[in-house]
Amino acid sequence: MVQTNTLVKAQKITSFKRSLAVVIGINEYQNKIPKLHTARRDAEVLAEILAKEHQYDEVILITDETECKPTLKNLLTLLEERLPKEIQPTKDDRLLFYFAGHGIARDSHKGPAGSLVPQDADLENNKTLLPMQKLHECLSALSCRHLLVILDCCFAGTFRWSSARLATVIPTVIRKEHYDRFIKSPAWQAITSAAHNQEALDILRDNRGGDKHSPFALALFKALRGEGDVIPAAKNGKSAGDGVITATELYLYLRDNVETASNESQTPGIWTLSKHDRGEYIFLVPGADPKLKPAPKLTEKIILIEDYSLLKKSIHNYFLAEKNW
């Protein structure tokens, strides 16, 4: 997608009363923790994209240069006090939570137990870290209908140990009925920049693209500006996309681009959280009108089956009927 200096906005998703975002980026750490080069700028650009291009109603930006610093105390206050008691997301709201900074893996009897590293953390003291499990518990206590967690840090994939189920597959063509279901049903999803045993690159080792953004963040920005609209796939000279970017589409784009940029040393992942149902976190492509067709009517030649479980049930019933016949 060609970028210009003209601000192109996405249509506002009116199905939600509020679109909210918490965006955190940490470059400068204390207690001899190595500094990062891109996390703060990644957060600043994402906050701008969400507020201006995707018309989010409220974007909370926290970096090592904002008045509210990303210390453990401030992050816990945000998660335990400000979000649930002041902002109070409801079933009519959606929330995006983004963290760029250091992540650390710890072993446990249940598998890898990761933590986010606040600005004032001491790596010799686990109590100064923010466990992924704690993050999951605080966010799960919120009442929003849709939640998307995006983590760009080392060992971000350990967040999957804090969630209940793997992500589900979406159709190869998104119909109007699919979109309505995605919006109305709870969507609680997490996208991670790296697997549970991988380090996330701060910059590309050969400096392709400069050193302003991490490869994951750079792909994320491109995706939100339209390149992440990959379903339906390009066919017969027609470009891919329908004006709608689901969280699963976003993941597919990020996975392919980040693996390529990192020479397959970094693999993004997607997971559903405990409150997830049949929804999908949705972005609309800036400057585009969604092009969603209704599902075809059922005929003798067209049978619309939306998920694999229904397909298996249909096949089972067919052979059962044949046997009884």
pLDDT in tens, 165-207: 455 566 789 999 999 999 999 999 999 887 655 454 454 443 4
Give the pLDDT score at 237: 82
Q: Domain containing 184 — which CATH number?
A: 3.40.50.1460
User: In this prediction, what percent of the chain has a pLDDT beyond 90?
Assistant: 61
CA distance 185 to 146: 8
Does 48 map to a domain?
yes
Q: Rounded to 5, what percent of the chain is helix, strand, coil?
A: 30, 20, 50
**Phi, psi (degrees; rounded to nearest 5) at 61:** -105, 125
Give the pLDDT score at 316: 54
Does 31 map to a domain?
yes
Residue 18's DSSP bridge partners are 93
Give the pLDDT score at 3: 42
Does 144 map to a domain?
yes
More confident residue, 265 or 72: 72
Q: What is the pTM of this model?
A: 0.84
Alpha helix ranges (H) inside 100-175:
132-140
Does 12 map to a domain?
no
Residue 161's pLDDT band, with cuts at 50, 70 and 90, is very low
CA distance 96 to 93: 10
Q: Which domain holds residue 286?
A: 18-296
Does 307 map to a domain?
no
Give the pLDDT score at 41: 96
Residue 148's pLDDT band, with cuts at 50, 70 and 90, is very high
What average pLDDT does the chain have?
A: 84
Count of domains forming the chain: 1
Does 275 map to a domain?
yes
Does 320 map to a domain?
no
CA 229, chain centre distance (Å): 14
**Phi, psi (degrees; rounded to nearest 5) at 324:** -70, -25
Give the pLDDT score at 103: 87
